[in-house]
Structure 1
Amino acid sequence: MSWLTEYVRPKLRGLLQRDVPDNLWTNCESCSQMVLIKDLERNEKVCPHCGHHMRAKARERMAWTFDNGEYTTIELPKMPVDPLSFRDSKRYTDRLKEARSKSHLDEGLLVAHGLIKQQKAVVAVMAPEYLLGTMGAGLGEAFIAACRLAVLQKAPLVVFTASGGARMQEGAVSLMQMPRTTIGVQMLREAGLPYIVVFTNPTTGGVSASFAMLGDIHIAEPNALIAFAGPRVIQDTVRETLPEGFQRSEYLREHGMVDIVAKRSELPETLGRIIGLLTKQPAASEAA
């Protein structure tokens, strides 16, 4: 072999080929365009090409919502683990350990308090990274803790919903959280405190059939799926073609189920304005 193949060719390949990290780019779920992950994070996980709102982790939402990304989380009540000793392809206890390890959360709901546009608020965010945000006894107890904290602080409660529904591994125990969370909402009503729900994609099942639909104000991110059963299940049941955009944010706003459809970047300003109007309280800086 000549020096061209043994020496020059490898040198040229080394100059032309560069190692690209696997975690540098991602594809938009909606338009399939490639997006730099750093650009996506700076844009709050909204595709710069088509405006698609991707799923966000609970701590990301907290940082985007509170002023300067500053907030204080609370310790959630401890609940019995695996009340039914459930097992499918894995033990339920093993699934919980994996979920806690990956998400760094104790449950599928993160609760914190702080300021939103200088307005005092308690915020509860459902975590899709924790067993797809499913609702079990732990999440129900965490929601009640959020309601009690709001009553204690005399502050509005803002809930970001993102869930696949009730957690099948807890059977009827998970279904019992539907009336239990409803009682939490009633606590806020009796205290005269605003309860604001922000629908994110997806909000389905027992969550949409309980505390998610009981807000004083309903806000939704663009094109979020908000439903009890999915459109495919409904279409197969009624055997009729459903309207375009059925069960999406914009469709529900047109039919009175959603009050506001707001982009992710607009949510803090929207929440701050609504809280100020509903509480008739000055901003925290003015009160000080």
Structure 2
Amino acid sequence: MNWITNYVRPRINSIFSRRDTPENLWTKCDDCGTMLFHRELSENLNVCTSCGHHMAITPRNRFEALFDGGIFTEIDVPEPTTDPLHFRDQKRYPDRLKAAQRSTGEKEAMLVAEGEMGRTPIVAAAQDFSFMGGSMGMYVGNAIVAAAERAVRLKRPLILFSAAGGARMQEGILSLMQMPRTTVAVQMLKEANLPYIVVLTHPTTGGVTASYAMLGDVQIAEPNALICFAGPRVIEQTLGEKLPDGFQRAEYLLDHGMLDRVTPRTEMRDELITITRMLMGQPPAVAGDLPAPDPAPEAQPPEQPDKAAAPKTAPKTTPETPAK
């Protein structure tokens, strides 16, 4: 009885009294430290409801907030050679790719899609910083080229959300080659007179900043996003000087003429709709649902002639044949 009393019964009680508590119900803001309920944070597009700090957001969640009804169609991107240099540091490059794919659920660091935004058809591309720092490799280069070609073919504007630490070192010179390659892709849009709008998110640095991320017809940034080629710590160590507060942040770049606007994420969709429709020569967007079109007038049957009123024709008479 002691074994049952001391071991079995407490074990059974602990199993039945256990409460299954879902994990990750709360997220701590990186800036102010406020604990945020995950559903409330998700509804606010990963923007802190206390201090307005913009946390990372995946390309899929961004597209769900951007496109009408969250409906979009992914655009296929040509697959490059996986490991052209057979690169290895602490891990093999293919192993790093597989680990990033498992953790993010995405194939690579950029997602390309098409759909409607405010009833305007667009093509959009977004980088995922959680996938190897959003680094630009051959796949990202292929994605931007595919997005530009699709936009030119369909005569649609291209909206790009950048978030990257620069070129992907595991692909060496092949990743650096994507800088002029993506620049040529952007030039295709300009030659077709199609808008290219760039939204710079935190962080956008390195070779991405030095290529397609700063070539937009309109340059928008999210608040407090770090936008630079070399980071502030590298510059401070090189110059041996203290940099001013807010250096290389979105607001600093806006004050110095490097950006057109700094727009919160929760207002970004409305801002993009207005700018896109303006650049495409379309009328301003209509808030809410459009009114139903007027019904077409019913077709009237053709009028039938009135038989009673129809004029009577005299019967034909044949001349009489004279008798012989």
TM-score in same-fold range (> 0.5): yes
Matched to 2:163, the amino acid is A
Deviation at residue 195 of structure 1 after TM alignment: 0.5
- When the two chains are superposed, the root-mean-square deviation of aligned CA atoms in Å is 2.2
Query: Which residue of the partner structure matches residue 118 of structure 2?
Result: 117
Structure 2 counterpart SS, 1:160: strand
Query: Which residue of the partner structure matches residue 51 of structure 1?
Result: 52
Matched to 1:261, the amino acid is V
Counterpart-to-counterpart distance in 1, 2:166 and 2:268: 24
Residues 123-182 of structure 1: CA distance to partner in whole angstroms, max 9, x if unpaired? 000111221110001110111000000001101100000001111101111111111100
Task: Detail structure 1 runs of 4+ shifted over 3 Å in the superposition.
Answer: 17-22, 282-286
Query: Which residue of the partner structure matches residue 135 of structure 2?
Result: 134
Deviation at residue 103 of structure 1 after TM alignment: 2.0
Deviation at residue 89 of structure 1 after TM alignment: 1.1
Structure-1-length-normalised TM-score: 0.91
Matched to 1:195, the amino acid is Y
User: Are 1:74 and 2:75 matched, yes or no?
Assistant: yes
Matched to 1:55, the amino acid is A
More helix by share: 1
Deviation at residue 18 of structure 1 after TM alignment: 7.2
Structure 2 counterpart SS, 1:26: strand
Query: Which residue of the partner structure matches residue 192 of structure 1?
Result: 193
For residues 30-179 of structure 1, the aligned pairs below 5 Å read 30-179=31-180
- Structure 2, unaligned runs of 5 or more: 1-5, 7-17, 294-324
Counterpart-to-counterpart distance in 1, 2:40 and 2:24: 13
Deviation at residue 19 of structure 1 after TM alignment: 7.0
**Identity fraction in percent:** 53
Counterpart-to-counterpart distance in 2, 1:273 and 1:173: 38
Query: Which residue of the partner structure matches residue 248 of structure 1?
Result: 249
Counterpart-to-counterpart distance in 1, 2:20 and 2:188: 57
Structure 2 counterpart SS, 1:123: strand
- Structure 1, unaligned runs of 5 or more: 1-5, 7-16
Counterpart-to-counterpart distance in 1, 2:127 and 2:139: 12
Structure-2-length-normalised TM-score: 0.81
User: Are 1:214 and 2:208 matched, yes or no?
Assistant: no
Deviation at residue 223 of structure 1 after TM alignment: 0.4
Counterpart-to-counterpart distance in 2, 1:150 and 1:101: 30
Q: Structure 2 vs 1, CA of residues 64 and 173 (structure 1 numbering), >3 Å: closer, same or farther? A: same
Counterpart-to-counterpart distance in 1, 2:184 and 2:254: 26
Query: Which residue of the partner structure matches residue 11 of structure 1?
Result: none
Structure 2 counterpart SS, 1:141: helix
Query: Which residue of the partner structure matches residue 12 of structure 1?
Result: none
